[in-house]
Amino acid sequence: MRLLQFLVIFLTGMLILMSVKYLAGLSDYLIPPPNEIVVLITRKSGDFLFPAINTTLVAVAGHFLAILVAAAVAFLARTGSRFANMVRTAAYNLQAYPVVAIAPIVFIFLGDGLASRLLIASLICYFPLLLSFLGIFSDPVTDVEHFFYQTGRLDSLTELAIRTFENLDKIITVVAGSATLAMVGTIVAEFLAATNGIGYVIRKSLYQNNLAVILASLFFIGLCSSMYLMAVETAGKIVKSRLLR
Amino acid sequence: MEIICQDLSFSYPEGDHALFTGLNFSISGGGFFSFFGLSGSGKSTLARLIGGLLQPDSGQIKKDGVVNGLLSYNTERLPGWMTVEEHLKKVVCPGRELLLDELITRFGLRDFIEHKFTRLSMGQKNRANLVRYLVQDFDLLIADEVLANVDEPSRNSILAFIKRRFPSKTFIYISHNANEVALFSKLIFVLPQAGPNGISSLVVISGLDAFGPEETDHSIVGDKILEILRASSQGHW
C-alpha cells in the first residue's frame, strides 16, 4: 500500500513537471525528457539503488539509536524531579534549533564519514520521539497502576511496562512517523557534507545541473523510504497482535 | 482494629463548597460495613480519604490496628499483556495459592482464566479484580463498587462467601444497592445529601449482617431498605 501511494505521488509529480515542460516549451537541458529519466531508473538503477540502500541502512541505524536514547531519557525524566524538569526544558529548547544549523558543528568534529550521518539522522528524529515518550511515560495509567501501588509492587519497570502497553498505538505511530524523519536526516547530512549515500549523489548532480539524476535519485529515495515505513508499520502490527492475542 | 474519623473536613480545590465539614464517625472491629448514599454524595471521596489517597483539609483519620489497608474500585484493569491466570499467579501473596484456587472457583473465573483481561465482560472483570485483592495480606479492604457490573445472584453469593471466608477482616463496602447493603452489612454509614456547608454527620443504621436473602424475612429487609433510602435522601426530598 505504501509503495502504491509513493508510486502514485511520484508519477503525479512527474506528470505535472512534464506538463510544465511541454506547455511552456522548456528545453531538455532544464527539464530532461521522460525517456531519459526512465533510462536512468531502469538501466542505471545500480548507480542509485546502492547509494539509496546505503542511506536507508544509516537511517535505520540512526532511527534505532534515537528510539533507544529517547526512550531511556524519557524513562529517567518521567518523574517530577529536578532532573526530570531539567531534561524536559532542555528537550523543548534544543528542538527549537534546526538540525541543519547544528550539522556543520557535527561535520567539523566528526568529519564527513558514517558517524556524522548517523548522528544527524538520530538528531533529526530524536526530539519528536523524546517529547512523545516523555508524554507517554509521565502520564499515569491509574486504573492499571492502582493495584500495584496499593500492594507496594509498583516498581519502575512495572510502571514502564504498563504505560508502554497502554500507549502502544501512540508509540507505533510516533516510531513509524519518525522513520521518515530519520531518512530525511541522513539525506540532509549526505547533501551537506558526506561522501556517501543518495544525498551525496544529489549534491554532485546539483553541481552538474543534472535534473534527470536528481529525479531518479528521488525515485529511489521514495522507494526505500516506503519500504522502511512498511517494515516499521508491519513490525508494529506484529508486536501489537502478539501482545493482544 | 478501629478507624476513627475526627473532625474531618474536605473540599475539592475546584469545588465551590466543602464536601465534608467536621465529620466524626468510627468503625470498630472486623466485619462487613457499608457506605451508602446517592450518586455524588461523597462515598468514594470518603473511601479515598480513609485509604490515604486523598488528604483531608483538616481533622484526622486514625487507623488503629490497620497494618495493611487496601482500596479497590470498579474501573480497575489488569495488565493487558498477560492472561488473568498469569497475573493472579504473579501477584498472589506467598502461601495463599490454595485460597486463590478456591476463589477462582467460587467467583466463577475458571472458564475464562486463560483469557486476557480485555476479552472479559464487565462483570468478569470486576470479579477478577476483586480476587487479586483478596489474595493479598490485608486487614482492611475498602471496596468501592467493586461488584457494580456483576449480576445479583453472583453478587450475593460472592458477598456471602467473603463474609464467611474472611470473618476477622474489615470490609468497607460501597454500593448503590440498598438491598445488598441492608442484607450483608453489620453497620451502614449513610451519607445524606450535602447541604451548603457539606456533610457534617453520617446516619448510622444497623444492618441485618446476614449471609444471603434466603435466611432473612423479606418484610424486615424491605423496612431496612426504606430506612436506608430515607436517610440517604435527607435534604433531597
Chain A residues within 8 A of B76 when measuring between CB atoms: 143-144, 146-147
Nearest to B81 among A143, A151, A165 (CB): A165
Among A87-96, A106-115, B46-55, the range scoring the smallest mean pLDDT is A87-96
Torsion A207-A213-A215-A219 (CA) sign? negative
Alpha carbon distance B101, B107 (integer Å): 10
ipTM for this model = 0.93
User: Quick one: which H or E segment has residue B180?
Assistant: helix B178-184
Cβ atoms B188, B159 nearer than 8 A: no
The reported pLDDT for the residue numbered A92 is 76
By C-alpha distance, the chain A residue nearest B71 is: A150
Min Cα–Cα distance to chain A from B34, Å:
21
Which CATH code is given to the segment(s) A2-244?
A: 1.10.3720.10
C-alpha cell at A93: 529548547
For chain A, give the percent of residues with pLDDT over 90: 60
Q: Which of A141, A142, A151, A244 to mutate to test the interface with B (most CBs of B within 10 A)?
A: A151
- Supply the DSSP string of chain A, one letter for each residue: -HHHHHHHHHHHHHHHHHHHHHHHT--TTTS--HHHHHHHHHHTHHHHHHHHHHHHHHHHHHHHHHHHHHHHHHHHT-SSSHHHHHHHHHHHHHTTS-HHHHHHHHHHHHTTSHHHHHHHHHHHHHHHHHHHHHHHHTS--HHHHHHHHHTT---HHHHHHHHHHHTHHHHHHHHHHHHHHHHHHHHHHHHHT-SSSHHHHHHHHHHTT-HHHHHHHHHHHHHHHHHHHHHHHHHHHHHHHHHH-
A108 contacts: CB under 8 Å, gap ≥ 6:
none
Among A54-58, A91-95, B59-63, the range scoring the smallest mean pLDDT is A91-95
The reported pLDDT for the residue numbered B101 is 96
The reported pLDDT for the residue numbered A240 is 85
| pLDDT of residue A222 exceeding 70 | yes
Chain A residues within 8 A of B130 when measuring between CB atoms: none
The reported pLDDT for the residue numbered A88 is 77
Instruction: List the one residue out of A44, A52, A69 whose CA is nearest residue A187.
Output: A52
> In Å, how far are A108, B45, B84, B113 from B89, measured between CA atoms?
57, 31, 9, 11
What phi, psi does A199 have (nearest 5°)? -65, -35
Torsion B136-B138-B144-B148 (CA) sign? positive
* Residues A128-180 pLDDT 10s: 899 899 999 999 999 999 999 999 999 999 999 999 999 999 999 999 989 98
Nearest-10 Cα torsion for B219, B223, B224, B227: 170
By C-alpha distance, the chain B residue nearest A242 is: B81
Cβ atoms B53, B69 nearer than 8 A: no
Q: Would you call A150 and B78 a contact, using CB atoms and an 8 Å cutoff?
A: no
Instruction: List the one residue out of B152, B198, B202 whose CA is nearest residue B175.
Output: B152
The total number of residues written for chain A in this structure: 245
* Residues A60-78 pLDDT 10s: 999 999 999 999 989 888 8
* Mean pLDDT over the full length of chain A: 90
Min Cα–Cα distance to chain B from A14, Å:
47
pLDDT band at A81 (very low <50, low <70, confident <90, very high): confident
Please compute the mean of the pLDDT values over residues A79-90 and round it to a whole number.
80
Alpha carbon distance A217, A37 (integer Å): 10
pLDDT in tens, chain B (237 residues): 899 999 999 999 887 789 999 999 999 999 999 999 988 899 999 999 999 999 999 999 999 999 999 999 999 999 999 999 999 999 999 999 999 999 999 999 999 999 999 999 999 999 999 999 999 999 999 999 999 999 999 999 999 999 999 999 999 999 989 999 999 999 999 999 877 788 999 999 999 999 988 878 889 999 999 999 999 887 544
B15 contacts: CB under 8 Å, gap ≥ 6:
none
Cβ atoms B41, B90 nearer than 8 A: no
Other Cβ atoms less than 10 A from the Cβ of B53: the count is 17
Alpha carbon distance A134, A92 (integer Å): 11
C-alpha cell at B76: 480497575
The reported pLDDT for the residue numbered B235 is 57
The reported pLDDT for the residue numbered A195 is 85
Nearest to A143 among B71, B75, B132 (CB): B75
Per domain, the residue ranges of chain A are 2-244
pLDDT band at A203 (very low <50, low <70, confident <90, very high): very high
The reported pLDDT for the residue numbered A244 is 76
The reported pLDDT for the residue numbered B225 is 93
